[in-house]
């Protein structure tokens, strides 16, 4: 056998991992953000925990800069990790780093929360100011509406108390919008009789509505 073959150094080749990385086979620190996102996309729940341990402090600090509220920032942080889990399928490693995607998502959600909070505060302030400024006006409108309702009910009672002939011509004149000549032609009653019935009916209504003049 050739001495060259005997003296040749032993060569070692690094084994190729043909299997996907699984959370129990590799320590979390050895996993890249992109690998964690791939695991999340495959619904491996351990990955979201690893990602939380890695970036929760940094993301909370980012959220705090926007919201300036400890409790609200903590709630927002949990919501963001839930959204990372739910929307992981939309992450594309070809378009950028996983951390950039996570930071952009976190910043957008924090800004959305801030806008909603500010909008709510503005609405609450306007409502409080309006309540302080206009309670008497609101009360007056309510009283006026009640008075009009009472007047309408009273007018309905007055109308039903008129003789049927007077009810007929007043309804045609004021509810149907017909002229006196049109009523006469429609009913076949002489024009003079129509005029008399309307005058008598209106006189009774006018007397019955005394006290409601301000609402007319």
pLDDT digits (tens, 9 = 90+) for 134-149: 444 444 454 455 455 6
Between 40 and 208, the more confident residue is 40
Closest CA to 111 of 99, 119, 101, 100: 119
Q: 151-170, pLDDT tens digit by residue?
A: 667 677 777 888 888 888 88
Same domain, 174 and 81: no
CATH number at residue 160: 1.10.10.10
- 23 within domain boundaries: no
Domain range enclosing 32: 28-132
Same domain, 74 and 163: no
Total Cβ atoms within 10 A of residue 41: 14
Closest CA to 110 of 140, 84, 77: 77
What's the mean pLDDT in 72-96? 94
Total Cβ atoms within 10 A of residue 40: 23
Spatial contact of 180 and 191, defined as CB atoms under 8 Å apart: yes
Same domain, 120 and 188: no
Same domain, 84 and 175: no
Which residue carries 């003296």 as its tokens?
Answer: 7
- Whether 15 shows a pLDDT value over 50: the answer reads no
- 159 within domain boundaries: yes
Q: State residue 97's pLDDT score.
A: 95
Q: State residue 206's pLDDT score.
A: 75
Q: What tokens does 13 get?
A: 């080749």
Same domain, 105 and 153: no
Q: What tokens does 76 get?
A: 């927002």
Between 199 and 43, the more confident residue is 43
- 14 within domain boundaries: no
Same domain, 125 and 143: no
> At which of 116, 132, 148 does a domain end?
132
Same domain, 113 and 139: no
CATH number at residue 114: 1.10.1740.10
> At which of 132, 148, 163 does a domain end?
132
- Whether 3 shows a pLDDT value over 60: the answer reads no
How many whole angstroms separate alpha carbon 63 and alpha carbon 72? 9
- 10 within domain boundaries: no
The total number of structural domains in the chain stands at 2
What's the mean pLDDT in 82-96? 94
- 17 within domain boundaries: no
- 12 within domain boundaries: no
- What separation in angstroms does the CA of 52 have from each of 15, 33, 157? 31, 11, 74
Spatial contact of 87 and 39, defined as CB atoms under 8 Å apart: no
Same domain, 102 and 180: no
- 96 within domain boundaries: yes
Same domain, 55 and 139: no
> At which of 78, 100, 132 does a domain end?
132
């Amino acid at each position: 056998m050739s001495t060259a073959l005997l003296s040749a150094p032993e060569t070692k080749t690094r084994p190729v991992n043909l299997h996907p990385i699984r959370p129990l086979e590799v320590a979390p620190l050895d996993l890249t953000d992109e690998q964690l996102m791939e695991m999340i996309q495959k619904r491996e729940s351990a990955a979201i925990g690893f990602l939380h341990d890695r970036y929760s402090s940094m993301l909370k600090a980012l959220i705090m800069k926007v919201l300036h509220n400890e409790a609200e920032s903590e709630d927002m942080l949990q919501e963001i990790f839930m959204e990372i889990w739910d929307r992981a399928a939309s992450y594309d490693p070809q378009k950028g780093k996983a951390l950039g995607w996570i930071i952009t998502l976190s910043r957008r959600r924090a800004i959305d929360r801030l806008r909603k909070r500010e909008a709510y505060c503005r609405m609450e302030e306007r409502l409080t100011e309006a309540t302080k400024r206009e309670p008497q006006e609101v009360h007056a409108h309510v009283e006026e509406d009640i008075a009009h309702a009472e007047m309408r009910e009273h007018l309905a009672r007055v109308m039903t108390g008129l003789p049927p002939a007077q009810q007929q011509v007043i309804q045609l004149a004021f509810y149907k919008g017909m002229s006196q000549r049109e009523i006469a032609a429609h009913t076949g009653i002489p024009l003079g009789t129509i005029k008399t019935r309307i005058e008598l009916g209106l006189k009774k209504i006018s007397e019955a509505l005394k006290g409601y003049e301000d609402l007319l």
